[in-house]
Amino acid sequence: MTASSSASQRARVRMKPKSNARAIRHGFPWVFANELVTDRRTRKLVPGALAVLEDEVQTPMGLVTVNPDSKIIARMLDRNPDAELNLAWFEARLTRALQMREQLFDAPFYRLVHAESDGLPGVVIDRFGSACVLQPNAAWAEAHLELLTQALINVTGVEVVLKNAAGRTRSLEGLDDVNMVLHGTAPEAPVVVQMNGASYMADLTGGQKTGLFYDQRPNHAFAARLASPGARVLDVFSHVGGFGLAMLAAGAGSALCVDGSAPALALAEQGAAASGLGDQLTTRQGDAFDTLAALATEGEMFDVVICDPPSFAPSKPTLEAGLRAYERIAKLAAPLVKPGGYLGLCSCSHAADLSKFRGASARGIGRAGRSAQLIRTGFAGPDHPQLPQLAESGYLKSVFFRLD
């Protein structure tokens, strides 16, 4: 089945009686495997195939992509069941996404496409000036990668498009983990990204995910406001120095960046040097839990401590263990904050909602014998829009406390 096949030629998949068809009509973009009639024809569909979704009485609901091997068996692509996934379709989606980013950002460094929220399920595209890093995390996007890439070039005028295949969800979709250059020539050196007064180094080919975490930009900015002149800052799970560099640029006296990745810490050091702050940033490679405990033993204390770990609860089965990990991070970090200082804790776990994460963080602070005021709750920036019907699109949470 080709992208240009008409609706009359497409497969038709039907929701079961008493399934959640109302939620689909109201904007929820996913159909789970237990909600769809999986007859022989449906099971034979190639992952990423297009189909017309029908409700239980066979009323068309829209154009979906189907993956019989995934728990999310169907993803809504277009409310028009006759829609054609051609170059013009992709260009329209990308143009809509680009218009908002260009209105919000002065320079072309942002998340251009945030998956379902931008009408391209499972697709993430981060822009770094004249280069884009594309993550096709769903089978349909992989099947239409040539069209998507050409549309991206046409709409943005970028000279380089890289495919990053490191996303965890690709394996759930039955996809490979092979990175490649889709257009142009991959940059040999890290790309310099200016944010919040600091210079960040984004490794587009060898770095984590797409090379830089744009989602934390507004939280970096808030943390920078907490850094009084001369403040001592601790940035744990620092990656390329996200929080530490922003606070140094705002006037902090020193920042210690802790991460398990030596290459990430080297990029943090390069970013500090490019920002004219090289002598104020130090790094420490190692396990975050062990390093927090060691710093306490060494008697270290800081004016601002930030902990921004990777996802501890990426799925519901890992939720309880993940919440215990967040609580432990808070318990280890709180003793390192000077009285009157600030503790920022972050979570990018889909399964841990804000209430659960905030509760785990508060328990950890209490177990450390500290009392606290919650002064701010933060989320991802506007280049990571949320689809109101899909809680998973608002994965990032941050909570900032002032400790007594």
Give me the active site residues, please: 348
**In whole angstroms, what separates CA 236 from the centre of its chain?**
18
Distances (CA, A) of 156 to 30, 112, 120, 177, 379: 29, 10, 16, 26, 27
The whole-angstrom separation of Cα 162 and Cα 149 is: 9
109-119 in b/e form (b: 16+ CB < 10 A) is bbbbbbbbbbb
Between strands 337-347 and 281-285, the pairing is: unpaired
Answer yes or no: are the C-beta atoms of 165 and 145 closer than 8 Å. Answer: no
Distances (CA, A) of 130 to 44, 125, 156, 160, 165: 41, 13, 9, 6, 20
Distances (CA, A) of 162 to 138, 184, 188, 288: 16, 9, 13, 31
The whole-angstrom separation of Cα 21 and Cα 32 is: 11
Between strands 191-195 and 198-202, the pairing is: antiparallel
The whole-angstrom separation of Cα 203 and Cα 382 is: 23
DSSP string, 43-99: HTSPTTEEEEEE-TT--EEEEEEE-TTSSEEEEEEESSTT---SHHHHHHHHHHHHH
Between strands 372-378 and 397-403, the pairing is: antiparallel
Answer yes or no: are the C-beta atoms of 216 and 308 closer than 8 Å. Answer: yes
Residues in the chain, overall count: 404
Answer yes or no: are the C-beta atoms of 296 and 213 closer than 8 Å. Answer: no
Tokens of 81: 């069941």
The whole-angstrom separation of Cα 365 and Cα 373 is: 11
Question: From the CA atom positions of the chain, what is the Rg in Å?
Answer: 23
